[in-house]
A and B are shown apart, each in its own frame.
Chain A
């Protein structure tokens, strides 16, 4: 590793096989128990407790089970997984093997976003090395009845394939579209079998948890959000990059860390996240406050937030899979409204429709993409009324 990254957990350093050895020395139930006790939640942003997920898959009936690593890092403004895959691939893969051991799966897939295709050879090399060292394949680390292999699959650039059920459809060779839930992947996932889909970062944390203990892990973070979070910070700051911070770190602290000045707003959680105004910079990164898959975008006072929202909506219009009505047809309508807003032509009536349509999309879209597409527009309207060229009476309406 060239860059000496520093952080409480994932960047804290761990020897190869350290976590894996510790895991294979325990029973499957104990591994799941350890993960559960660590209270780690999914690092993709949705925050489903990982231990619970593993347990569901472990207890589900199925001849085959699968572990899938979601490396379709597509949220605008996130790039932390590329760091993990480039510099900590071994740890990530070991996390997958541990998951496979705990759940009773024999196959793992890494669903790598198409833009990361160039990582392929490196990742294959790491896998080969693991296999050579007996950390992958048959009888892993001498454990006779445990077989696990990992295959790398490439996405072809659809944002929606970061949604776990769409990812599975894509893995199966279908068009990347979200499935109906329930049934959930832990029960009916890849090829109809119980499947654990976790983020790269979640798998990267697992060897640390097993090697160093759930208690150690849970000593970081807040009461409801244990451990640390990798943040991809970009935008108007002097030191953009990937940082590992414990949960509970405030926006203010982050801005100081990255040497941002004259900051007007921070978009947390990428295009589907929320925009935080200056007066709320005391808020913290945590599932119970500002939940994020890792994207933190800093805007200084020269930026127009309407332009930002417009950009996000264009992104969603492009990336909506086109399956369900609210998202497919709703995003272009919001985009039209955003254009009118920018031009100062949004009527009072239309402002009402923005809220009404946003609610429909948030409630009735089939997957998280459509459900979160209106977030940015709504948060700008509510939190940054001064940014929006609206009449006084309209502005009053915003304060609902």
Chain B
């Protein structure tokens, strides 16, 4: 049964579109608790307020849906899920009809079947683009419905000329509105789930289309590039901007040294693209596949995740020292994480006056990029100009991040291309590689060692957990007092989580922290980020030291570049895979990563937050604001020359 764990507590949805939480209804004493309904002759007892769709699911009756998504608030617009409800003159949308009375429901009466058939034909009428040339071929909900309901001809005709220009302005996303069926999932994702609100319908009748503010290109509005809309689009109307061709070109060029860093989340989800159950980790098979495809080196982003912890953790401790010992009034606390490019851009748009709260540490992707074309290039005597630095990310915003104009501290663009999990899956398939049955292989040296702490960056709360594992030990000299290093209070899928870690004793240089309690908070999804920012404004984060925010629900493992579909259950399984893999590793703390120790010994010799670190591993942010047009937001830096 759908629990809508994520959106139930967001606020922007119109009242009518919010789900009716059963527990709220239960509290109204005059309504009682449960209701018994009959669906296709089967009796179902459900809490009052449950929708017909959810009630039917409890007895394995499948009602087709298109606009409904378990992560999102209700819409009831596609009408594919209509059913007969006894006593109602018209058919009712099962997804949005709450049950309060004993009722009889029929899910496949002749009227229902006729209606569904007609509605599907109507949807297909203006949906243009051939299935076999569509990125969502075989993973398209409309295609599947057409098949299930036996649509063999376009009963009401079929448009053959495009109506809209493709919007390819964004670094991350492509909008092809000719494939849009106006289910509004993207609208609800953007405004309700993420509370960004870039997309909304414009016009009426058949002219209706999903658009942006003043119908501007996506790159010119306040899109944070998170790609959550792509994850929920039932058709191929929203896809990521593909870099696959660029990467093939680099691989095919013998002059180029093509290296790829892989983030922790794709490996926990890549299997889904190859028919494996969600939560099947394929790290080492993927390494083999990448080498077979032709990448010269396969590295682990977990390494720079560890480096991020060193830099960001040290930055935090320095901030604490300046605030608590030096009493510097300009020091901003709590420090917010900065590894999620969607979140960073969200801050730049919505809270440009709060950018000082963000850690200046770059994201692991960008730290990696900066080191590849400097340290690695020098060490292996490769001309950095010949290095093509690719990253495998669960994320569409990473495509934007690597194009940020300031990300060129190596003297060149630090990361050339960011690939999503889905894009790489396509490349692997194109090579005829049977990923699940590949032999396993390790990452390449020297940037192939990451700790478990770096790995759990993929899950919401992971950065915080990694930071606590390291910072606590730096300050106290002791391991954190959690069983098997599991910092349970920051784990889980609750929108906003808080935790406190008391520091009983501290080493000499951190004596000022002795007896203090480290207070941290974690939020995922920008709707929850907004809550945290509201808390910051109202003073509810007073006394907090460190806050982790990831733009996507579930953290990176629920990123906009991950396999489609997504749901709370799938995200949980991916998280389980990541946490399980963490426990198989011998090195589970960032500061114990031998390569991290090595790089500080031989390259970043001034230590974390030292001069060289600042040059390569730290960055600044752009005040963008929400104003579009004259006042300023240039939502993106212009693409640079290569």
Q: Which residues of A contact B (CB under 8 A)?
A: 61, 158, 165, 169, 172, 174-175, 179-180, 182-183, 188, 191-192, 316-326, 328-333, 336, 353, 356-357, 359-360, 362-366, 371
Contact = CB atoms under 8 A, between A and B. Distances in A.
A287 to B, nearest CB: 14
Contacts of B181: 325
A323 B115 contact: no
A323 B206 CA distance: 10
Interface string B181-216: 110000000000000000011011111100000000
Contact of B123 (A183, A329, A371): A329
A367 to B, nearest CB: 10
B42 interface: no
Nearest to A189: B15
Which 7 A-B pairs have CB atoms at the shortest separation, nearest pair first? A322-B208, A179-B16, A329-B122, A360-B118, A180-B96, A192-B15, A320-B205
Interface string B493-527: 00000000000000000000000000000000000
Contacts of B74: 180
Nearest to B155: A353
Contacts of A333: 122, 125, 156-157
A362 to B, nearest CB: 7
Given A179-B14, A371-B90, A325 B78 contact: yes
A76 to B, nearest CB: 16
Interface residues of B, number: 42
Given A320-B205, A325-B78, A328-B208, A356 B114 contact: yes
A322 B79 contact: no
A170 B182 CA distance: 20
Tell me what chain B mostly uses at the interface: helix, strand, loop, or mixed: loop
A366 B15 contact: no
B98 interface: yes
Contacts of A357: 118, 156
B384 interface: no
A322 B125 contact: no
Contacts of B80: 325
A364 B115 contact: yes
Contacts of B34: none
B15 A191 contact: yes
Contact of B204 (A179, A322, A330, A366): A322
Contacts of A174: 14
B204 A321 contact: yes
Contacts of B77: 323-325, 366
A360 B82 CA distance: 10
Contacts of A323: 77, 182, 201, 208
Interface string B76-91: 1111101000000011
Interface of B: 14-17, 20, 28, 74, 76-80, 82, 90-91, 93, 96-98, 100, 111, 114-115, 118-119, 122-123, 125-126, 155-157, 181-182, 200-201, 203-208
Contacts of B82: 363-364
Given A180-B96, A318-B205, A322-B204, A363 B111 contact: yes
Contact of B79 (A320, A326, A332): A326
A322 B182 contact: yes
A180 B200 contact: no
Given A328-B182, A353-B156, A360 B114 contact: yes
A214 to B, nearest CB: 29
Contacts of A316: 205
A366 B76 contact: yes
B14 A169 contact: yes
B14 A172 contact: yes
B90 to A, nearest CB: 5
Contacts of B96: 180
A356 B208 contact: no
Given A356-B118, A364-B90, A332 B206 contact: yes
A175 B200 contact: yes
Contacts of A169: 14, 16
20 contacts: A158-B204, A175-B201, A180-B17, A180-B93, A183-B16, A317-B205, A322-B182, A322-B203, A322-B208, A325-B80, A325-B122, A326-B118, A328-B182, A329-B206, A331-B206, A333-B122, A353-B155, A357-B118, A357-B156, A363-B90
Contacts of B16: 165, 169, 179-180, 183, 188
